[in-house]
Every structure is written in C-alpha cells, then in structure tokens.
Amino acid sequence: MSASIHSTVPVLASLAIADTLAFYTNRLGFKICLQQDDYAIVSRDGAEIHFWLCSERHIAENTSCYLRVTDTQALYEEFQAKGLYVEPPAVREWGMKELYVHDAHGNLLKFGEAVGVDTDLAVPVEDEK
C-alpha cells in the first residue's frame, strides 16, 4: 500500500490570536477548532486554516492562501452582510472567478471558483530531468 496526500493546510501569521479568531469567526464564518496562546486552527465546510503567533506584520502582509469555493458571489454577499466590505468577485484571465479578502493582519485570502477551466483535467507537471 502506498501513502497518499489528501489535503494541504495553510499556516498563516497572526499578530494577535484573539483578533484573528474574532475576524475569521465573525466576518468569514469559520469555527474555532483550537485556540492556544501562540497557535490556532479554524475550519469551515471542510477547509482548515492554521495560525501561528508572529510579531512581524510584514510576514502576514506578504502571505496568501487560495481557497477553492463553489460560489464566490454568495460568499461576497455573506461577507457584506457581516460588515466586511470587499470588492465584488471578478473573473480572471486564467478562468477563475475570484474574491480577495485581506484579514485583520494583512494575510490575503483568495476565494476562487472555476468558470472557464476544467480543473478536473489538470495534469501534473513532469519532473525535469
């Protein structure tokens, strides 16, 4: 039997764990799975994001993660209803409809749904020899 990789989990910088958890639960609809002084985990609809306590804001401001979703417009409307003001989703030239959200500490969350590409047909790039 061989091992398989079944998911990836971003680990983002947090300047203050309590502030991060408040933003992700109150504005983005995540649930808290773990809360420690220097580490936290949130989840929503099977997606998980981890956070580590970091005192350097520039790290968070230069970090992003991509979350595949089924309906960016519905997320946009949900976030707006929760008082989060962001630009509406836009279709990008690479065939994804994307919604961008900066969290409380500068991490960029890119929520994307395929609209012009069949992501099920993606082929892995072969190793260079």
CATH number at residue 100: 3.10.180.10
Residue 93 included in any domain: yes
The total of structural domains in the chain comes to: 1
- Residues in CB range of 11: below 8 A, 6 or more apart: 49, 50, 51, 52
Contacts 24+ apart (CB under 8 A), 90-97: 91/115, 91/116, 97/72, 97/73
pLDDT at 67: 97
Residue 117 included in any domain: yes
Structure-token match 């595949």, residue found: 68
Locate all alpha helices (DSSP H) within the chain, ordered by sequence.
17-26, 57-61, 72-81
Residue 108 included in any domain: yes
Residue 4 included in any domain: no
More confident residue, 96 or 122: 96
Terminal C-alpha separation, the chain: 27
In angstroms and rounded to an integer, the radius of gyration of the C-alpha atoms of the chain is 16
Residue 2 included in any domain: no
pLDDT at 118: 61
Residue 89 near residue 110 (C-beta atoms within 8 A): no
Q: 51 pLDDT exceeds 90? A: yes
Mean predicted confidence (pLDDT) in 72-84: 96
pLDDT at 126: 55
Residue 28 near residue 35 (C-beta atoms within 8 A): no
Which class for 42: exposed (0-12), middle (13-18), buried (19 or more C-beta within 10 A)? buried
Residue 129 included in any domain: no
Q: 16-32: per-residue pLDDT in tens?
A: 999 999 999 999 999 99
pTM of the full structure = 0.86
Q: Domain residues for 60?
A: 11-121
DSSP class of residue 52 equals E
pLDDT at 72: 96
